[in-house]
Amino acid sequence: MRAYPSELGLSVYFHDITEQRLADRRLRESEERYRGVAEVLQRTLDLSLDMITTINQEGYFVTVNAACRSILGFEPEELIGRPYLEFVHPEDRTRTAEEDSAVEAGRATTIFQNRYIHKGGEVVWLEWTAVVQPGDPLLHCVARDITERKRAEEEQAFLAAIVQASDDAITGVNPDGTIRSWNGGAERMYGYSAEEAVGQPVTLVIPPEHRDVAAHAFEPAARGERVEPYETARVAKDGHRVPVFLAVSPVLDQSGSVIGVSAITRDITERKAAEDQIRALNEHLQQRLEHITALRAIDRAIASSLDISVTLGVVLDKTRDQLGADAVTTLLLNPHSHTLENNAYRGLRTTIPRGPVVRLGEPLAGLVALNRRSMSVSDLRSTQVAQAFRDLLDREGFVTYNAVPLLAKGKVLGVIEVFHRRPFTPSPEWQETLETMAGQAAIAVNNAQLFEELERSNLELGLAYDETIEGWAKALDLRDKETEGHSRRVTEMAVDLCHRLGMVPEELPDVRRGALLHDIGKMGVPDAILLKPGKLTDEEWVVMRRHPTYAVELLSPIKFLRPALVIPQHHHEKWDGSGYPDGLAGEAIPLAARAFAVVDVYDALRSNRPYREGWPEERVIEHIKAGAGSHFDPRVVEVFVTMKVRR
């Protein structure tokens, strides 16, 4: 209702506002419902894990849901009213602005990715879906955090780059045995491109003889089991074999199910070549070590034994082992008959007699010795040889022959022969080894021959010494008729007694010489005293008792007789010290002299003298027993009596 003044009075107009009030009420109710729906919608949007926002035409955030907290670290109030490009990574701002301008009203949703800066400074990857509705000035956007996915893609891309760049062949195999993936290393190793290999059976690169082994590795891996890496071989496109080290493992999906098998194959050609080289070097070093060891064994044999058969046996054993020969023989030269004689052999199936085999100049060994040169025969079956040698070759089945002369100090000492029962071509190293062994054999033969000659000379010289000494003893016996044969008898008994007393055999020759020369000092006693038929005066006994001293004066200048002087010098000493010339007593008297004193008295009492008859055996034994402990060593007497009784 409204009132208006007028000349006639007050005019009043009425207007019905019922509809208007109803409309206002409906509007208020609608606004309340809208606000409720908006609040419900906002709460619903806030529950989303994606960031949902609207951006006006000036590029400012108008609305942002609560997901911005977890995605960017900002509260919605911190973003609303601020330009969104402020939060975009500087490197992505231009591209992002271009993407926004490309969004057209009514067109399909635009999806793009860019980087934002988190409130804490970290980089966050977002994937945006943007749309503009017709007649709506706002840009409606939904952003999803794909940072982890991007990292996974980067890791996958990084891993793929590593796999592709690897020199190892890295392949994936489907459960049905077909090739699924093929990296650059596989292309380089096998020569097949990925287009040629993918879809082909994995046997494309597996040699037939290795397929069973490959199946035994593939089957457990296809079941999800672990397979130990192993060495095997693969075949390339051009057909050449590649030695490889292979690691096979199952490929699992997120649920743990096996979806295939991966194979990492490493080419070990160079390693194998290095191993072969090292193995060959080790074998060579082992051969050299065995060669040196063999030479050392031969040196020890040469140094420890002068028995030529023993030493040559060692030489032949080592020669056969080092040269891989079937048989080895040595022939030694007889310089008197100019023939080579069998000496030692190893590896023959039959026995060959010792003695002359071939003369100098006759084939084959005779030519080797005469020419002083090595000989090698590759086929003995077509070689002209003596019939006896031919029979030996046929029996033994020898095919090849090698021989070298044994040379020492310019002299030919013999020949060493090496036989094989199969075709054989000697290498320079093999020939060098044979010549080295022949040199060792020649040293052994030469040493043995020199020792044999020296031993023969020493024996002859020793015999000459002994014959000279026996001659002296006989001369003494002839001078003193009363003691003829005495020296020989007491010598035999003295040697026997000293042996029984435990003297070593090396000492007995000196006992023998001393016994033969026990009275050599009497050469200094005048005949008037030595041959006097009656008893000697005291003055004459003084002269007679000087004969041990005379013996020392006569024999000591002779070096080899000095060890024999103990008997001529001390055989008149007595156990109680009353003897002469030095008055020694007990064990101060040398054992040989103590023993000889017994046998000297025994023989003297048993022999006839001008002034008495020889005593009977029993009386002499009793006399010697009575002198035990005074004149004689009791132990010597005991052994002597036992010796005489047993005789």
| Residues 6 or more apart whose Cβ sits within 8 Å of residue 147 | 123, 124, 125
Least Cα distance to 638 among 621, 615, 614 occurs for: 621
Give CATH for domain 480-646: 1.10.3210.10
Please tell me which of 290-294, 557-561, 623-627 the model is most confident about, judged by mean pLDDT: 623-627
Q: How confident is the model at residue 644 (pLDDT cuts 50, 70, 90)?
A: confident
Range of weakest confidence among 287-291, 362-366, 385-389, 552-556: 287-291
Q: Which H or E element spans position 130?
A: strand 123-131
- Residue 145 CB coordination number (10 Å): 19
- The SS3 assignment for 55 reads strand
Least Cα distance to 336 among 366, 356, 316 occurs for: 356
Task: Supply 101's token pair.
Answer: 């301008």
- Who wins on pLDDT, 535 or 372? 372
- Who wins on pLDDT, 221 or 105? 221
Give CATH for domain 281-453: 3.30.450.40
The neighbouring-strand residues paired with 246 are: 230, 265
Q: Which amino acid is at 136?
A: D
- Residue 421 CB coordination number (10 Å): 15
Range of weakest confidence among 150-159, 335-344, 573-582: 150-159
Domain positions in the chain: 49-145, 166-267, 281-453, 480-646
**Residue 71 confidence (pLDDT):** 94
Average the pLDDT over 270-291 and give the result. 78
List, for residues 545-600, the tens digit of each pLDDT value: 898 988 888 888 888 788 888 999 999 999 999 999 999 999 999 999 999 999 99
Summary mean pLDDT of the chain:
84
Q: How confident is the model at residue 276 (pLDDT cuts 50, 70, 90)?
A: confident
Say yes or no to pLDDT of 520 above 70.
Answer: yes
Q: How confident is the model at residue 477 (pLDDT cuts 50, 70, 90)?
A: low
Peptide bond between residue 426 and the one before it cis (omega within 30 degrees of 0): no
Say yes or no to pLDDT of 608 above 60.
Answer: yes
Average the pLDDT over 41-53 and give the result. 76
- The SS3 assignment for 191 reads coil
Task: Supply 16's token pair.
Answer: 């019905």
**Residue 37 confidence (pLDDT):** 46
**Residue 404 confidence (pLDDT):** 94
Question: Whole-model pTM?
Answer: 0.45
Say yes or no to pLDDT of 3 above 60.
Answer: no
Q: Say yes or no: do domains 166-267 and 281-453 share a fold.
A: yes
Task: Supply 585's token pair.
Answer: 């007593």
Say yes or no to pLDDT of 509 above 70.
Answer: yes
CA 369 to CA 383: how far, in whole Å? 18
Average the pLDDT over 231-258 and give the result. 90
DSSP 528-548: HHHT-SSPPPHHHHHHHTTHH
Say yes or no to pLDDT of 537 above 60.
Answer: yes
The CATH architecture annotation of domain 166-267 reads 2-Layer Sandwich (3.30)
Overall residue count recorded for the chain in this entry: 647
Give CATH for domain 49-145: 3.30.450.20
Say yes or no to pLDDT of 2 above 60.
Answer: no
Range of weakest confidence among 104-113, 182-191, 515-524, 601-610: 104-113
- The SS3 assignment for 590 reads coil
Average the pLDDT over 20-49 and give the result. 64
List, for residues 414-436, the tens digit of each pLDDT value: 999 999 999 999 999 889 888 88
- Residue 434 CB coordination number (10 Å): 23
C-beta separation of 321 from 328 below 8 A: no
**Residue 422 confidence (pLDDT):** 93
